[in-house]
Structure 1
Amino acid sequence: MEQPTQLTCLAAAQEAEKCCKEGDHARGIELLENAIEMGTDDLFLLSAIYSQLGNAYYTMRMYSKALSFHLNDFYISRIINDLQWSSKSLANLATTSAALHRYEDAKEFAHNFLILAKQLNDKKLEGRAYYLLGHVLMNKVRHAGCSRPIGEESPLKEEIVQDLNQAITYFKRNIMIAEDMLNTSFLYGNLGNAYYYLGDFKNSYDCHRKRLKISRSFGDKPAMKKAYINLGNNCVFMTLFDEALVHYKLVRFRLCLLVDYHS
């Protein structure tokens, strides 16, 4: 009698996955929770259901529920001793904890993710772990009210500077092992933003120039637009007003392909 229930649970999970891919997360959640009620003795299937529920709730910004399901997913991954799956669960836990502003928890999950990635000798996972650690710290800085270069009057300055410097270290390590050039463009953007918040406009400018060069080679116009904006912002703080105006005009008039920044 177990087999029909097993198939029904699997079918519900598969239908839920389809709904989530189509953007109907509410229906996907309903189906996934029905699948759990049906029950299954397949821990791999149950872990996948918990993971999908966590992702669906996260997409709907119901972060507390997302966290609880990602925790369940992680516990099962440890029971079945699937280290790759555990690393995925830890990444989800870090991201969700950061969304809840639980930054110490998020850092711990991301750090454990890094340890596991090194244990698996998986450079791709290791790079993602470094990115997550930097991402958590940048979120923490922004949540502290830092949306522009920090000033001497900031009561949290020492802590913010420490977090930004640590984020820079993590982003640099990620860039060193990144294999996907398009992803490297994104990473240079993050690194440039961290330098910008520190008030290190020269290094920030250099990072966004690198992002622009890489994104131009891929024809990634959204990334190019962000690079131009950030280049303009840095030029303003370096009192290079004429150059800043050029970058802002390139954003406004979408002249991305008319200026050669490869030279």
Structure 2
Amino acid sequence: MKMPSASSKPQVSPGNLTARAVCKIVPSRPQPRCFLLPVGLELWVYVQKMRNLQKKRMEASCLELALEGERLCKAGDFKAGAAFFEAAVQVGTEDLKTLSAIYSQLGNAYFYLKEYSKALEYHKHDLTLARTIGDRIGEAKASGNLGNTLKILGQFDEAVVCCQRHLDISQEQGDKVGEARALYNIGNVYHAKGKHLSWNMAQDPGYLPQDVKETLQKASEYYERNLSLVKELGDRAAQGRAYGNLGNTQYLLGNFTEAIAFHKERLAIAKEFGDKAAERRAYSNLGNAHIFLGRFDISAEYYKKTLQLSRQLKDQAVEAQACYSLGNTYTLLQDYERAIEYHLKHLVIAQELGDRVGEGRACWSLGNAYVSLGSHEQALHFARKHLEISQEIGDRSGELTAQVNMAQLRSALGLGPGDEDVGTAQHYSGYEAQERSATVEVLKCRGAYKGRKATSWAGEICPKEKPISQLIQVWKEMTFPRKYSNCLCQDLLCSLLCKAWALRGISYPPQLPWGHITDLRHALLGRESCRAIGDDTGRVTFPCGFCGVHCQV
């Protein structure tokens, strides 16, 4: 068998050619072996990947809901905003700072919705989270929000603690804006506490209790510190708020000249910003302060501007209040025709608003204004309306006052028990009724029977020769019991006393800090008479300086 030579080439089949071609493509080094994880470990990796993905989606969803809630709250829709914030909390987030911000926004939304218990709950959550993550600025803001909420709930001491913590942390962190806000909030708390104490605690006539005065003075001090700081920061809007509140605290303290100066500054800044609502409040507060100084004509001008702005703002409730204020002011100026004009406007608006309390007050005022003009038939008509409304709303004191007024007016008109109210009156030449009540004496003292001599010694209340002490005693004898003492006729008698002092060359009663008629009513009759002409809705136009008022900020 012949061996093949070295140079001879072997014969290659088609199959061998394919194998050789494949071998050129595949690398000669060994291929890596497939590595498989255990089933449990592989599942864990998959779960972690899904969790991370879900977390990212959750964070995005929570933030989106919170941003929409914030947008709605800025637009003034706090109810819808709160719903979105609640949804964001339900979705959840592991970012505690984001969650803290959501709690803060939720607390603010519920605060504006006047759901203060919920507001308090979420602000507490915010404070806890801020402390947990060591966010000192967040802790300061949460403390301030808690203080504001506690103030509204009447928990003034707790509110001061929270606001003081806000102040301390802001000073520690060098946060001037936060410091200014904290000073303002502390002033607000003391301001609210002072008004609360002056209204609810027993007082001796003629002065504010010392603790009330000290509380209001503290409020004024914090407002002044706030004003100094916001001036340094150049925050004009905050300066306006500080001036307004300083005016209100000085007003409550009886420093009416200072109050006017502050309210004028408030008015200037409101005009600067075009803030019509703040401008309207400033005019109203200026009118009130001038009333206490006896400058009724100036007050009327400010109230007219209040009325004009309330119409521009389309705020019927404020318009009604301005009309009522003007009616009372013109009564003090003894311009009864114009007083009736404004009281009638007040009556129409009260009827449109369905405000039966305001409607009753308007009828009461109209009755007394017509009495001053000697128009007893019209006075009787409005006294009857006052009676009907008082019975409807369950105002027992107003009902008794209206009944007394009606009886006295019917007697003055010569009407018997079975006579019609109007059209059959026999006009007597004088009063024959023996009741020593305020309304009868006012009819005499106010000159309702012009040219006729009053039969009562009290009808000579204004002449100079009567000693002031005797005038006060007569006034006390003429009034009926305290619980029935909401008749405006008593205010008119107070006005006569002011006139008596003026005839003697004395601007205001020497034993009283102010000469306003409502203060005289309180001093001589008691605080219940002041309660009868006002409430906590801000509708008291001529508030009593002894009781305090809800000033318009």
Task: Give the TM-score of the pair, scaled to structure 2.
Answer: 0.43
Q: Where do residues 150-165 of structure 1 align in structure 2 (5 Å cutoff)?
A: 152-153=204-205, 157-165=209-217
Aligned length: 252
* Aligned: 1:175 with 2:227: yes
Flag the 1:20–1:251 CA change in 2: closer, same or farther, 3 A: closer
Partners of 2:280 and 2:142 in 1: CA distance: 33
Partners of 1:23 and 1:218 in 2: CA distance: 20
Partners of 2:146 and 2:87 in 1: CA distance: 23
Q: Is the helix fraction higher in 1 or 2?
A: 1
Bigger drift between 193-202 and 216-225 goes to 216-225
* Aligned: 1:231 with 2:286: yes
- Structure 1 residue aligned with 2:271: 216
SS at match of 1:144: helix
- Structure 2 residue aligned with 1:8: 61
Q: Which residue of 72, 83, 86 maps to 1:33?
A: 86
Q: Where do residues 57-72 of structure 1 align in structure 2 (5 Å cutoff)?
A: 57-72=110-125
- Decide whether the 8 Å contact of 2:198 with 2:208 is kept in 1: no
Partners of 2:236 and 2:72 in 1: CA distance: 32
Query: Aligned partner of 1:195: which letter?
Result: Q
- Structure 1 residue aligned with 2:128: 75
* Aligned: 1:188 with 2:243: yes
Query: Aligned partner of 2:241: which letter?
Result: F
Q: Where do residues 97-108 of structure 1 align in structure 2 (5 Å cutoff)?
A: 97-108=150-161
Bigger drift between 174-183 and 243-252 goes to 243-252
SS at match of 1:20: helix
SS at match of 1:8: helix
- Structure 1 residue aligned with 2:95: 42
Query: Aligned partner of 1:158: which letter?
Result: Q
Partners of 1:24 and 1:194 in 2: CA distance: 32
CA drift of 1:131 comes to 0.5
- Structure 2 residue aligned with 1:258: none
Flag the 1:162–1:79 CA change in 2: closer, same or farther, 3 A: same
Give the unaligned 5+ runs of structure 2.
1-50, 310-553
- Structure 1 residue aligned with 2:299: 244
1:176-221 deviations in Å (ceiling 9; x for gaps): 1112223212211100100111111111111112222333344433
Bigger drift between 108-117 and 241-250 goes to 241-250
* Aligned: 1:201 with 2:217: no
Partners of 1:154 and 1:70 in 2: CA distance: 42
Q: Which residue of 115, 122, 126 maps to 2:179?
A: 126
- Decide whether the 8 Å contact of 1:146 with 1:197 is kept in 2: no
Percentage of identical aligned residues: 37
- Decide whether the 8 Å contact of 2:266 with 2:282 is kept in 1: yes
Query: Aligned partner of 1:191: which letter?
Result: L
- Structure 2 residue aligned with 1:166: 218
Q: Which residue of 115, 131, 135 maps to 2:168?
A: 115
Give the unaligned 5+ runs of structure 1.
255-263
Partners of 2:195 and 2:127 in 1: CA distance: 28
Flag the 1:232–1:151 CA change in 2: closer, same or farther, 3 A: farther
CA drift of 1:173 comes to 0.5
* Aligned: 1:93 with 2:146: yes
1:25-49 deviations in Å (ceiling 9; x for gaps): 4443344333333332211111112
Q: Where do residues 13-28 of structure 1 align in structure 2 (5 Å cutoff)?
A: 13-28=66-81
Aligned-residue CA RMSD in angstroms? 2.5
Partners of 1:29 and 1:157 in 2: CA distance: 42
Task: Give the TM-score of the pair, scaled to structure 1.
Answer: 0.85
Partners of 2:206 and 2:94 in 1: CA distance: 54
Structure label with greater radius of gyration: 2
Flag the 1:71–1:156 CA change in 2: closer, same or farther, 3 A: farther
SS at match of 2:114: coil
Query: Aligned partner of 1:157: which letter?
Result: P
CA drift of 1:156 comes to 7.5
Partners of 2:252 and 2:165 in 1: CA distance: 27
Query: Aligned partner of 2:285: which letter?
Result: N
CA drift of 1:75 comes to 1.3
Flag the 1:203–1:155 CA change in 2: closer, same or farther, 3 A: closer
Partners of 2:245 and 2:276 in 1: CA distance: 17
SS at match of 1:230: helix
